[in-house]
Chains A and B, each alone.
Chain A
């Protein structure tokens, strides 16, 4: 059973870069069937798709965040990462990593989520 687990700082200062890692266990991230995705959810609000990466480095990003986002996959470490630069309070949210079955693009396996607060 594949499991995903987010990790990273829970507090980031404004204007700095938010960096999170999602470790995949119970399966190989190198499986060619999946994209590896990030989604976020501000407290009490809905879900926002941030973007996804394939193992060959191909990425898709939400245009609303595209200039600030980088998602990358590290097959040697079996994890993938999110970097979001120039953060503001509006980036405070629970961040989820998820596995995306690319052929149908459904998010069939999620991490538990990690709260990131942007505050000085």
Chain B
């Protein structure tokens, strides 16, 4: 199985801050990576697909980049509604696997 790691595991930031989360795959997955946002008690929501494509209706302050084994999710200006846990997911190889998550809260 492809192992996914994320860093940091948690972070605190202020409204308006730029936030970056990194995700690393244990082997080359090209651009076969998605990002999800999960708020407490809710199902995950797709934010970014194919490493860099913004899902419909997701605010443009979210962006994704990377290819191969290293990927980044960025929030250009953190908003209160962005408080959540963020997961990366690879689909380059079966079984599809998720990262352990990065919890983002407000400072």
Contact = CB atoms under 8 A, between A and B. Distances in A.
Interface of A: 46-49, 51, 60-64, 96, 98, 104-108, 110-113
B45 A110 contact: yes
A45 to B, nearest CB: 9
A106 B46 contact: yes
B96 A46 contact: no
Given A104-B91, A105-B91, A49 B98 contact: yes
A105 B100 CA distance: 19
B101 to A, nearest CB: 5
Contacts of B44: 47, 96, 107, 110
A64 B95 CA distance: 9
Interface residues of B, number: 23
Given A105-B91, A107-B34, A49 B97 contact: yes
Give the interface centre of B32, B89, B100 by most chain A CB atoms within 10 Å: B89
Interface in B47-97: 49-50, 55, 87, 89, 91, 94-97
A72 to B, nearest CB: 18
27 contacts: A46-B87, A46-B98, A46-B99, A46-B101, A47-B98, A49-B97, A51-B95, A61-B95, A62-B95, A63-B1, A64-B95, A96-B44, A98-B43, A104-B50, A105-B91, A105-B96, A106-B49, A106-B50, A106-B89, A107-B34, A107-B44, A107-B89, A110-B43, A110-B44, A110-B45, A112-B42, A113-B43
A113 B38 CA distance: 12
A47 to B, nearest CB: 4
Contacts of B43: 96, 98, 110-113
- The 3 closest A-B CB pairs, nearest first, are A105-B91, A110-B43, A106-B49
